[in-house]
Amino acid sequence: MLGSALRAQAATITVSPLRNKLHLLSGAGGNIVIQEGSNGLLLVDSGLTESTAGIIAETNKIGKGDVTILFNTHWHTDHTGSNVVLGKKGAKIIAQENVKTRLAKGQYMEFFKRQVDPMAPEGLPAETFRDKGKISFGGDAAHYQYLPPAHTDGDAVIHFHNANVFHGGDLLFNGMYPFID
């Protein structure tokens, strides 16, 4: 959730194994899933901008190579904050088409009374989808799907089949009613 993620800027970043070359990185904003591949890493979400150095430090300890694919579950800054840096380093960014639109234009978040500036072109998704798609990476097939209407107008879930792990961004808020943007 954006509010708690902003308060968690100084949190310690931890990595926990999930299954078969799949890891959970927490403490960097929204939870990040990392999948190891033979020539790089796939990340689901990129955390807060303020956490970028810590995220890169932790990903450098996992697998071989840099982040080659970055999948954004939605446009909020606690899930896209490291997009520009990772995009400049060569990561291919994938997201639902509304995510690219929101990131490119910037947004005013009424709930937080906060203006979010447009993202630099290097951090924008290079590949977008309307409804669903598939990524083959690291020996696993990951299917993703748009879920309207949800937390935002660009929310997507991704399912890593071999590991049987779903990442849903901010579609679940534990113990509270979800923030709808």
CA distance 179 to 173: 8
* Domain boundaries defined on the chain: 2-167
Q: What is the pLDDT of residue 10?
A: 52
Q: Show pLDDT as tens, one digit a residue, over the chain (181 residues).
A: 444 444 444 569 999 999 989 999 999 998 999 999 998 999 999 999 999 999 999 999 998 889 999 999 999 999 999 999 999 999 999 999 999 999 999 888 888 898 999 999 999 999 999 999 999 998 889 999 999 888 999 999 999 999 999 999 988 877 877 777 7
CATH level 2 (architecture), domain 2-167: 4-Layer Sandwich (3.60)
Q: What does the angle CA 133 – CA 160 – CA 13 come to, to the nearest 5 degrees?
A: 115
Comparing C-alpha atoms, which of 129, 130, 101, 126 is closest to residue 116?
A: 101
CA distance 42 to 135: 10
Sign of the C-alpha dihedral computed for residues 109, 8, 167 and 101 taken in this order: positive
Q: Which residue has the tokens 């309307």?
A: 130
Comparing C-alpha atoms, which of 84, 4, 89 is closest to residue 41?
A: 89
Q: Which residue has the tokens 């978040």?
A: 109
Q: What is the pLDDT of residue 9?
A: 46
CA distance 93 to 83: 8
